[in-house]
Amino acid sequence: MTNEQKMPDGGTSLTLHVPMRWGDMDAYGHINNVEILRILEEARIHAFGPPAGTGLPGVEVAQPIFSELEADVQALVVEHRVRYLAPLNYRNVPAVIRIWISAVKGASFTVAYGIFDPVTEAKCVIAETVLAFFHEPSGTLVRLTAGNKLQLEKLRGPANFKA
């Protein structure tokens, strides 16, 4: 389930719920740092849809940015930045993820996240992922279209990290 939420700065974020798996837990009882990246990926796909040509049809997504790409265009991760603020302890209820767009450039954009404990509501992780669209047959980056930028601007909010 996804819902939109207004941010303090006037931007809009999406709130998603991503399950934590028993196997995601490390010896300390909290979600392993590698699994945090999986949770971020799941949140991106829940928010923006699976890339065209992958998987089978499912539920509609909030902003079908990935699922509207041409079949030979991929959404590739350029960079991740993650800061751990508090342990995200394993629970048998989904983690709460807030996701928004913190930057839009000519051929890339930045997805920002907050991961919250579903019971205490503590902010456990902030992160950002820079993505670019890549045309696989030609091996070149694809510039964002006016339509892409319009979709992304609907979810514009603040950066989690200073440049």
Write down the pLDDT at residue 5: 64
pTM recorded for the entire structure: 0.89
Question: Which residues, listed in sequence order, are joined to residue 128 by a DSSP beta bridge?
Answer: 81, 112
Q: What is the pLDDT of residue 57?
A: 57
Q: Rounded to whole angstroms, how far apart are CA atoms 158 and 153? A: 12
| Predicted pLDDT of residue 85 | 97
Q: Spell out the SS3 assignment of 35-69.
A: HHHHHHHHHHHHHHCCCCCCCCCCCCCCCCCCCCC
Q: Buried b / exposed e across 121-130, counting CB within 10 Å, b at 16+?
A: eeebbbbbbb
Nearest 5°: the CA angle 61, 7, 79 is 65
What is the rounded distance in angstroms from the CA atom of residue 152 to the CA atom of residue 160? 17
**One pLDDT digit (tens) per residue for the chain, 163 residues:** 556 666 555 668 999 999 999 999 889 889 999 999 999 999 998 898 876 655 555 566 777 787 778 878 888 999 999 999 999 999 999 999 999 999 999 999 999 999 999 999 999 999 999 999 999 999 999 999 998 899 899 899 999 998 7
C-beta neighbour count of 65 within 10 angstroms: 25
pLDDT value of position 11: 66
pLDDT at 50: 77
Torsion, CA 7, CA 128, CA 37, CA 107, rounded to 10:
120
What confidence score (pLDDT) does residue 58 get? 58
Residue 148 phi, psi dihedral angles, 5° rounding: -60, -50
